[in-house]
């Protein structure tokens, strides 16, 4: 498998043009960096910059300095849940498996 190399500054600019931040519903689910099952249920680990009260990023304007993914990178990495406005109209998009458990927990 070859490593994909690209100019990240150009990806950031392109991603901002393609995916305006106003489209975000501020659910915070894309800030989950790890999820695992425990005896007590699903355990979620969020990015250290995520504020669980506001469901917003504390470093949003500078997030790329902290290696946060662009929307375009996050789509390619299948980070978002399938009902996210950035991917809900992408027919072949596959979300991470743990979102199924999150939805079961919410019901």
Determine if residue 46 is left, alpha or beta; phi over 0 gives left, psi from -120 to 50 gives alpha, anything else beta.
beta
Number of domains, the chain = 1
Which structural domain range is residue 74 located in? 8-106
Indicate whether 32 belongs to any domain: yes
Mean pLDDT for 30-57 is 92
Indicate whether 3 belongs to any domain: no
Question: Is residue 80 a contact partner of residue 86, using CB atoms and an 8 Å limit?
Answer: yes
Residue 4 confidence (pLDDT) above 70: yes
For residue 87, give the nearest of 72, 102, 100 by alpha carbon. Answer: 72
- The pTM assigned to this predicted structure is 0.82
Indicate whether 2 belongs to any domain: no
pLDDT band at residue 48 using 50, 70 and 90 as cut-offs: very high
Instruction: Let me know if 71 is exposed, middle or buried by CB neighbors in 10 A (0-12, 13-18, 19+).
Output: buried
Indicate whether 66 belongs to any domain: yes
């Amino acid at each position: 498998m070859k490593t994909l190399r690209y100019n990240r500054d150009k990806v950031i600019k392109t991603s901002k043009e393609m995916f305006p931040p106003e489209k975000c519903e501020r659910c915070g689910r894309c800030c989950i960096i790890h999820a695992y099952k425990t005896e007590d249920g699903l355990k979620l680990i969020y990015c250290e910059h995520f504020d669980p009260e506001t469901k917003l990023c504390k470093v949003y304007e500078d997030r790329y300095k902290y290696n946060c993914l662009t929307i375009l990178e996050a789509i390619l990495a299948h980070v978002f849940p399938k009902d996210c406005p950035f991917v809900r109209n992408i027919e072949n998009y596959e979300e991470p498996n743990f979102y199924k458990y999150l939805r079961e927990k919410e019901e």
